[in-house]
Amino acid sequence: MTIEDLKEGNKLFKKTKFNDYKNDFRTLVEKGQSPEILFIGCSDSRVVPDLIISSKPGDMFIVRNVGNFVPPYKNDNDFHGTTAAIEFALSVLDVKHIIICGHSYCGACKSLYMDLEHNDSLVHMKKWLQLGMKAKEMVLKDFDIKIDEQRVYRETEKKSVICQLENLLTFPEVKKRIDERRLSIHGWYYKIEDGSIEYYNREKKVFE
């Protein structure tokens, strides 16, 4: 797809699909957004949240980053894009659900097993990938990448979702709202190969 394709795509959207949601957009402009769901997904071009769950404009506040990672809460004066989005979703939009959605064939999770140490063009990427290292360590306790490489990647993708849910619980506002039963958090795993979604059952500690 080229830039010209995108321009033509917008023209087509305005002529066709925009009309399907014209009233929705008018309401969203006049009354503002009020989504009940914060969706934290991966930047991977194959993962398109509104497409895979058939949501419409205004349904979800969406954050996408490399690996659908959530940094642990840190009370400092630095730049925190994902953290800022979580705070906005909670304290401004008052969302009722947070979904962390991992996916199969995730490049970020695969990169955890690559040697990026001497690649100076990925300095921020190397730092960001530290958020997935716990998942990698958990998987390597049970599986040997030399024997079953693809199984290791799939297991790491799922374990990472669990680790990001744990990081989410380090946010004081998240913990407070869960305790007050004003918020629920969910771990999802989207399978690119067949379009299905598995969810993490926190009581059974398995994806179903």
Q: Which residues are annotated as a binding site for Zn(2+)?
A: 42, 44, 103, 106
How far apart, in Å, are the Cα atoms of 79 and each of 74, 82, 138, 158, 197? 11, 9, 29, 28, 32
The tokens for 136 are 């990698």
Asked if residues 73 and 84 have their Cβ atoms less than 8 Å apart, the reply is no
Are 101 and 189 contacting, i.e. CB atoms less than 8 angstroms apart? yes
DSSP 72: P
Nearest to 177 by CA among 11, 36, 29: 36
Binding residues: 42, 44, 103, 106
Task: Round to whole Å and give the CA distance between 137 and 115.
Answer: 16
User: Across the strands, what pairs with 61?
Assistant: 38
Q: How many helices (H) and strands (E) does the chain have?
A: 10, 6
